[in-house]
Amino acid sequence: MIVRLFALALAFAMSTATMRAQEVDRTLPSQLSAPTRATLERLIDSARVAGLPVDPLYSKVREGVFRGADEPRVLAAVRRLTRDLADAYSALGDSAGAEEIAAGANALRAGVRPTDLSRLRESRGRRPDHPLTVALVVLADLATRGVPPAMAAASVNELVARNVSDGSLLSFRQNVERDLVGGRSAASALDARTKAMIDDDRRRP
Amino acid sequence: MGVTQPDVPGFNLATMTDAMLVRRVLDGDTAAFTTLVDRHAAACTRFATRMLGNREDAEDATQETFLRAYRSIARYEERQTFRTWLFQILINRCRTAAVRRQRRHRMFLVDDTAIAAASVRPAVDAGDLRAELKRAIDALDPDQREAFLLKHVEQLSYDEMAAATGVGVSALKMRVKRACDRMQWMLREGEASDVGT
Amino acid sequence: MSEPDDPRWLDDVAGELRREVPVRPAWRARLLDDVARAPKPSVRDIADDVFGDDEPALDRGRRRWSITVAPLTGLAAASLLVALGAGVMYVAMSSRAGADESQRAAHDGPSAASPQLVSRTPTATDREVVRFELSAPRASHVALVGSFNEWNPVATPLSRDPASGKWVVSLRLPPGRHVYAFVVDGDVTADPSAPRAADDDFGSPNSVVLVASPRT
């Protein structure tokens, strides 16, 4: 069984070789000075050893170079992201996937508290096939648009606890955004859209 | 809708014992839980702040504590004071928060600049006595700090401390003594340096 | 405060540490709000491990991505062994059988978010085709930058769709969360119709696209 799986995996891996061009490049850009690259390598290696996803860190470096940021700024951004990834990992637990951790880190960056992430994880309960990635993306988005993070977290938590689908969560986000742009208060928009989503959910067969 | 407060003179949540309030919470009275929060939040916040060294982590830990207490209030047994039971939860939340922070700090061991950047402690003025005290407390080994705070700040009995920490009384006494010796040394020498005990 | 050699020093220290740390009204309000939303506790709620520590162990080492992939855990683990650093995790995620309904991306409801998920047919490489579009009638050049193309502003130019007048490009992306932005005549801008990433490291926000695993 193991041998068969191994052979299958090998074939699988071969067929993915063509994807390499569009995977995250794990080398550091040559535009950066040698000392900066050395510091980044150490930081990223520490993160890897701690069990954190490193692709977001490489991506952050490349983004910084693209945007013309100076090296101290790139370093600061990578350190900050590493801290956020670590806190997200702690809050979301060992079974969280790389995407969830990255999305969780971004939610923390938007002002959501680690306890809110832990609460989401508890609300999701024992459903390991149901990552919180979409819920966390929605949460970060709402907080970035000026919704008080605690308020956004409470609403998203309620929807997650009710097992609302990812598609519905994304619709919810879009509707709240529309309401905010239309001048509605965050509290009123969240309240109305959360209720509507729950009612929709109840009516679903 | 749950239990409502009867319009009876003398009925006053504030005069009820913790155990009575817990029973009311189980009957559906959320206001009874609010009274418990108001009664114990200050002590919990104080312990967590001294234990964790910063307000933000302390508030998170205390928040978690009360929520867990609310969800599991049916598990509270009256043979223990509510405060001890609550502190048992709080101590665990503080230990968890410390682990979380330790992981974050560990990752930066390879980069000295990053250690400074990662620190969440506010800058302290060396001339400030209160700051010296904070540094001394922060420099204690976590087990010793925990025992010291429970004994001399929160003033739990050794039996209550044993129940809350899961550590035996004689071990706790040793930790308190060591904490006192160390604090005394640090405050006398004027710096929070590591001292073997 | 009395000197440390003074027998009263401990009383003074304890007294100082016993100083009240005020409870912030906002903290209290938030807690009571959470309590109000929580299900009411009853004598039947005794399953919780109220003291339990559900945090990851301090000394746990390298993550095993395969833990998050079920039910094909064995295959994913084996794939990881042979394909280090090739980003096989994405493929492993997407080859998960019976991805449940909640894994579908933005198109369950009528209010679909840009970018548009065009094709759900799993390809040989298990990537989804995702269409990005931007309305910028006065622009002369628009490109896409993001985590999927190393933020390279020349890798993914958009072209103008003659029918709609919008700038469009379709890309094959692996399942997962990707961060991106548009470069419009040299200016970096977020996608107005996509979820935002909280990110002001470099001065302007990015957008997020979520690509779901294809249903098998």
Mark yes or no for CB contact B117/A76 under 8 Å: yes
Q: Could you give the count of Cα atoms lying within 13 Å of C33 in the half-sphere of its Cβ?
A: 12
Q: Is the separation of the CB atoms in B180 and B149 below 8 Å?
A: no
Residue C89 pLDDT greater than 70, yes or no: no
- The arithmetic mean of pLDDT across residues A118-138, rounded, is 87
Mark yes or no for CB contact C31/B66 under 8 Å: yes
Q: Is the bond preceding C71 in cis, omega lying within 30 degrees of 0?
A: yes
A203: which 2 tokens?
Answer: 């009516």
Neighbours of C42 (CB within 10 A): 12
Mark yes or no for CB contact C20/B42 under 8 Å: yes
B17: which 2 tokens?
Answer: 């014992």
Residue B193, classed as helix, strand or coil, is: coil
Q: Could you give the count of Cα atoms lying within 13 Å of C197 in the half-sphere of its Cβ?
A: 31
Band of the pLDDT at B131, cuts 50, 70, 90?
Answer: confident
Q: What amino acid occupies position C22?
A: P
Residue B118 pLDDT greater than 80, yes or no: no
Picking from A85, A89, A170, A158, the residue whose alpha carbon sits closest to that of residue A124 is A158
Query: Which pLDDT does position A151 carry in this prediction?
Result: 93
Domain for residue A88, yes or no? yes
Domain that holds residue A46: 34-203
Residue A175 CA to residue A159 CA, distance in Å, equals 14
Query: Which pLDDT does position C104 carry in this prediction?
Result: 31
Chains within contact range of chain A (3+ C-beta pairs < 8 Å): B, C
Q: What amino acid occupies position B38?
A: D
Residue B126 pLDDT greater than 50, yes or no: no
Radius of gyration of chain C (CA): 26
C-alpha distance from B169 to closest chain A C-alpha (Å): 32
Q: What values do phi and psi take at C186, rounded to 5?
A: 90, -15
Q: Is the separation of the CB atoms in A136 and A106 below 8 Å?
A: yes
Number of domains in chain A: 1
Q: Are strands C159-160 and C167-173 parallel, antiparallel or unpaired?
A: antiparallel
C-alpha distance from B108 to closest chain A C-alpha (Å): 7
Picking from C97, C103, C63, C84, the residue whose alpha carbon sits closest to that of residue A9 is C84
Residue C117, classed as helix, strand or coil, is: strand
Share of chain A above pLDDT 90, in %: 60
List all residues 6 or more positions away from C88 whose beta carbon is below 8 Å from its beta carbon: A12, A13, A16, C76, C79, C80
CA triplet B167, B173, B174: central angle to 5 degrees?
Answer: 95
User: pLDDT tens digit string along C104-127?
Assistant: 333 332 333 345 444 333 333 467
- The arithmetic mean of pLDDT across residues B114-143, rounded, is 66
- The arithmetic mean of pLDDT across residues B49-54, rounded, is 92
Query: Which pLDDT does position C203 carry in this prediction?
Result: 80
Domain for residue A197, yes or no? yes
Share of chain C above pLDDT 70, in %: 57
Nearest chain B residue to C44 by CA: give it. B74
Q: Which of B60, B107, B109 sits opposite A82 (nearest CB)?
A: B107
Mark yes or no for CB contact B69/C50 under 8 Å: yes
Q: Which B-chain residues 37-96 have CB contacts (< 8 A) with chain C?
A: 37-38, 41-42, 45-46, 49-50, 55, 58-59, 62-63, 66-75, 88-89, 92, 95-96
- 1.10.10.10, 2.60.40.10, 3.90.1150.10, 3.40.640.10: which CATH number matches C112-211? 2.60.40.10
Which helix (H) or strand (E) segment holds residue C183: the answer is strand C176-184
Residue C58 pLDDT greater than 60, yes or no: no
Neighbours of C161 (CB within 10 A): 12
Q: Are strands C187-189 and C159-160 parallel, antiparallel or unpaired?
A: unpaired
C-alpha distance from A35 to closest chain C C-alpha (Å): 21
Average pLDDT over chain A, rounded to whole?
85
- The arithmetic mean of pLDDT across residues C65-69, rounded, is 28
Band of the pLDDT at A179, cuts 50, 70, 90?
Answer: very high
Domain for residue A17, yes or no? no
Domain for residue A5, yes or no? no
Query: Which pLDDT does position A109 carry in this prediction?
Result: 94
- The arithmetic mean of pLDDT across residues C69-78, rounded, is 38
DSSP per residue, B93-107: HHHHHHHHHHHHHHT
Band of the pLDDT at C52, cuts 50, 70, 90?
Answer: low
ipTM: 0.84
Residue A194 pLDDT greater than 80, yes or no: yes
- The arithmetic mean of pLDDT across residues B124-133, rounded, is 66
Does residue B139 belong to the interface with chain C, where contact is any CB pair within 8 Å? no
Q: Which of A65, A110, A165 sits opposite C198 (nearest CB)?
A: A110
Domain for residue A153, yes or no? yes
Walk me through the domains of chain B, giving residue ranges and CATH numbers. 13-98 (1.10.1740.10), 126-189 (1.10.10.10)
Mark yes or no for CB contact B75/C17 under 8 Å: no
Residue C130, classed as helix, strand or coil, is: strand
Neighbours of C138 (CB within 10 A): 6
Mark yes or no for CB contact B110/A46 under 8 Å: yes
User: Which residues of C are less than 8 Å from B149 in CB distance?
Assistant: 17
Q: Are strands C159-160 and C128-134 parallel, antiparallel or unpaired?
A: unpaired
Mark yes or no for CB contact C51/B33 under 8 Å: no
Nearest chain B residue to C9 by CA: give it. B184
Band of the pLDDT at C214, cuts 50, 70, 90?
Answer: low
Phi-psi region of A68 (alpha: psi -120 to 50; beta: other; left: phi over 0): left
CB pairs under 8 A between B and C: 119
Query: Which pLDDT does position C32 carry in this prediction?
Result: 92
Mark yes or no for CB contact A154/C33 under 8 Å: yes
User: pLDDT tens digit string along C134-164?
Assistant: 999 999 999 999 999 999 999 999 999 888 8
Residue C150 CA to residue A175 CA, distance in Å, equals 32
Q: Is the bond preceding C115 in cis, omega lying within 30 degrees of 0?
A: yes
Residue A73 CA to residue A75 CA, distance in Å, equals 5
- The arithmetic mean of pLDDT across residues B163-182, rounded, is 93
